[in-house]
Structure 1
Amino acid sequence: MSSTLKLENPILAPGSLILITGCNGLIGSHCVDQALAAGYTVRGTVRSISKNSWMLDFFKERYGDGKFSLAEVPDITAPNCFDEAAKDVAAIAHTAMFMDFSKQLPQEVIPPTVESVMRGLEAASKTPSVKSFVLTSSAWAAMFPSPDTPGLVIDTDSWNTQAVTDAWDLEKEKHPANLYAASKVEAEKTLWKYVEEKKPDFVVNVVLPSTVLGGILAPKYQGIPSTAGFVQQCFNAKKKEDLGFVLTFCLPQWFVDVADTGRLHLAALVDPNCKSERIFGYAETYNWDKVVDVIKKIDPKGEHVGDLGQGKDLSECKAAKRGEEILKECFGKGWTGLEDSVEENIKSFVLGEVKKEGGWSSGM
């Protein structure tokens, strides 16, 4: 299989070993897929190998024997937890995250998230073969969406510091994802402080995906996880009330396709022109009315929810162009559009015959 990578001088030689933490997740699994498609080998970490052994057969069938292996890391905050998995790797993509929406106190979420990032950086610093490191951050580390608000500008210096302030104000009513956003802000700032103070020998970049939609690699085993599950909920909804949590949790904002997100992570590891960058995965703005319109176009005979009356994200993301430049340079194509991404999303649960609704929920 020829490499999907178009770079003439990647930092990592073909066949190099890449460590991808949290490789069973929506983003992590696509990072694995893109790395293997580009001709690299991958070692992925999961909390339990027995629960994720399907990945070994899945990627063997897809790319051949000896390309993918698993390492078990039960606690991604424990001291030295990634050290063994990082042995002899050329690069690390740290996509694993500490996320539990049942936890409501900042001290239960923010410090463990920061600790996990530090464990990844420490493992990289102990491994002489590591040439590059990329962290999965979030668009919400830069700014929360604010529909119908003109004049908002997002750039590489944007930080959602209000989320951090609000997180530690236990009396204040907050966005359902406030702790998640605050933890991403603090984790990413910790990473950049580490880079400034330690000046590691390896390249460090960060990818900030907006709402991630698109196809799921193995819905039989993964279900329809994370924000991709919200498309399934829109597909199944008959009335607006069926989408209460989705509409509250994900206000109109920017989106990015999950395969593009995987490509951005790989580019952050191999592109010699990417150094100390915050790479924004912002393809285009969307709201759930747009998603429902695509659903109705794909399934015109189905019974689907009516107008949701959502507003629009009017923000300008100055850094979005750079993200697309990186995709074109490394892979020869730019952003995947919303319609194509939603169509792949729908194929995942229709063709995969996934009946149970996925996505995050208010009960998590």
Structure 2
Amino acid sequence: MAKLTFTPTIPQGSTILVTGANGLIASHAVDQLLAFGYNVRGTVRDPSKCTWMEPLFSSRHPSSHFELVQVSDFGAPGAWDAAVKGVSGVAAVAGAAALTIQDIDSALEEEWPWNESLLQAAKNEPSVKSFAYTTSAWSAYTPDQTKKTKLTEWSFNEHAVQVVRSNATPEEKGIKPYMAFKTLLEQKVWDWVRREKPSFTFNSILPETVIGKCLDPKGQGFPSTCGMVKWVVDGVNLNLLGSIPPQWHVDTIDCGLLYVAALITPGVNGERIFGFSDRYSWSRVGQILQKLYPERKIPVLEDNGWDQTDVPNQRGEELIKGLGHKGWTSLEESVRACAEGFM
């Protein structure tokens, strides 16, 4: 069990709820919470597709307990009541909207009610002391390597909202509808917190592109953006990767630690915590992989610059250092940890 140097706001041995526990980010939140001596109740839509989880976590953390529960319909009346019962904290990671969404108003009409339902269930449960909500780095900004910008803790991506609300073509909008959706949804969540004044502490976490160790390459595979690292090695979807602007990444373990810190560190409340470990581009990822595996012919991706954004990631680093971690993980370390799972 990892040792704490402070008295946590939630005693070790308590149970934490993690929604969407089988996902890349959530599985690392589960893993780190278990490592720090917490029991975890993880929700998934279909437990039959997640049989790898309980054996994995029981072998990694025999002194902690992981429980898998089903919440298949997020919007059903009382869907979250049983899941929240008796837990001391909530890490809300599950989300439904896809990167390809175009109609942000329909997406908000679908997703906000069950987010509100989860928040209300947590408010109604006296045992809940803290709540960590997952949004996205894109809720704060649109990556553009050609511009020097400075973000603050309370920067929101109003640019994406303006573009989506304009007469721009679908090509001009690109994935900005998703960015705008995440922006507006997070703002609605903060509005709810300010209005309802729940007794629990509340913080949002903004993960950037997630790269790093995958917990179970056989059972979980290489989900989400970790799978893109494998694309580079395999030489597939290179046009898509080349269209992604340079920005920041967050290491999988760093990201998991942010949830622990947000939930149990004294004095952390009402904050937006930026999960930005290091700058990255897919061209640079390819260069790192070629250096790590010189015997492989890693495709050369066009160098499309480097992110110039000044981001408020100092608080996140301070919080994970408070858990005994060395600080933000470099891109090189994250790419190596990811590649070791499939090479």
TM-score (norm 1): 0.89
Distance 1:266 1:302, change over 3 A: same
Q: Offset at 1:65?
A: 7.2
Q: Aligned match of 2:330 in 331, 337, 354?
A: 337
* Structure 1 residue runs of 4 or more that deviate by more than 6 Å after TM superposition: none
Distance 2:5 2:161 in 1: 38
Q: Offset at 1:221?
A: 2.0
Q: Aligned match of 2:264 in 270, 273, 298?
A: 270
Match of 1:354 in 2: none
Match of 1:149 in 2: 147
Match of 1:304 in 2: 298
Match of 1:346 in 2: 339
Q: Deviations over 1:212-271 (max 9, x none)?
A: 111111121222111111111111128xxx4111222x3100111011101001110000
Distance 1:58 1:236, change over 3 A: same
Question: Is this contact kept in 2: 1:166–1:172, CA < 8 A?
Answer: no
2:96 is the counterpart of 1:98: yes
- 5+ residue gaps, structure 2, are none
2:231 is the counterpart of 1:233: yes
Q: Which moved more, 1:13-22 or 1:170-179?
A: 170-179
Pairs within 5 Å for 1:1-80: 2=1, 4-64=2-62, 67-80=65-78
Question: Is this contact kept in 1: 2:13–2:64, CA < 8 A?
Answer: no
Q: Which moved more, 1:23-32 or 1:325-334?
A: 325-334
Distance 1:50 1:235, change over 3 A: same
Match of 1:361 in 2: none
1:341 aligned partner, one-letter code:
S
Match of 2:284 in 1: 290
Distance 1:244 1:256, change over 3 A: same
1:16 aligned partner, one-letter code:
S
Q: Which moved more, 1:296-305 or 1:22-31?
A: 296-305
Match of 2:116 in 1: 118
SS at match of 1:10: coil
2:164 is the counterpart of 1:167: yes
Distance 1:66 1:340 in 2: 28
Match of 1:356 in 2: none
Distance 2:64 2:279 in 1: 40
SS at match of 2:141: coil
1:153 aligned partner, one-letter code:
K
SS at match of 1:348: coil
2:238 aligned partner, one-letter code:
L
Distance 1:22 1:35, change over 3 A: same
Q: Which moved more, 1:69-78 or 1:122-131?
A: 69-78
Question: Is this contact kept in 1: 2:102–2:178, CA < 8 A?
Answer: no
Question: Is this contact kept in 1: 2:211–2:225, CA < 8 A?
Answer: yes
RMSD of aligned alpha carbons: 1.7
2:241 is the counterpart of 1:252: no
SS at match of 1:50: helix
Distance 1:333 1:66 in 2: 24
Q: Which moved more, 1:133-142 or 1:227-236?
A: 227-236
Distance 1:101 1:146, change over 3 A: closer
Match of 1:320 in 2: 313
Q: Offset at 1:149?
A: 1.3
SS at match of 2:318: helix
Distance 1:295 1:116 in 2: 41
Distance 1:5 1:158 in 2: 34
1:15 aligned partner, one-letter code:
G
Distance 1:276 1:261 in 2: 19
Distance 1:227 1:116 in 2: 26
1:278 aligned partner, one-letter code:
R
Distance 1:7 1:76, change over 3 A: farther
Distance 1:194 1:30, change over 3 A: same
1:264 aligned partner, one-letter code:
L
Distance 1:200 1:6, change over 3 A: same
Q: Which moved more, 1:81-90 or 1:117-126?
A: 117-126
1:227 aligned partner, one-letter code:
T
Q: Offset at 1:108?
A: 3.7
Distance 1:5 1:175 in 2: 47
Q: Deviations over 1:283-326 (max 9, x none)?
A: 12111121111101110010111241211111111x11111111
Question: Is this contact kept in 2: 1:35–1:41, CA < 8 A?
Answer: yes
1:315 aligned partner, one-letter code:
T
Question: Is this contact kept in 1: 2:108–2:181, CA < 8 A?
Answer: yes
2:152 aligned partner, one-letter code:
D
TM-score (norm 2): 0.95
Q: Which moved more, 1:112-121 or 1:269-278?
A: 112-121
Q: Deviations over 1:51-93 (max 9, x none)?
A: 1122112111222276001111112233321111110000000
2:102 is the counterpart of 1:107: no
Tell me how many residue pairs correspond in the alignment. 342
2:74 is the counterpart of 1:81: no
Q: Offset at 1:39?
A: 0.3
Question: Is this contact kept in 1: 2:280–2:306, CA < 8 A?
Answer: yes
Q: Offset at 1:101?
A: 4.2
Distance 1:194 1:332, change over 3 A: same
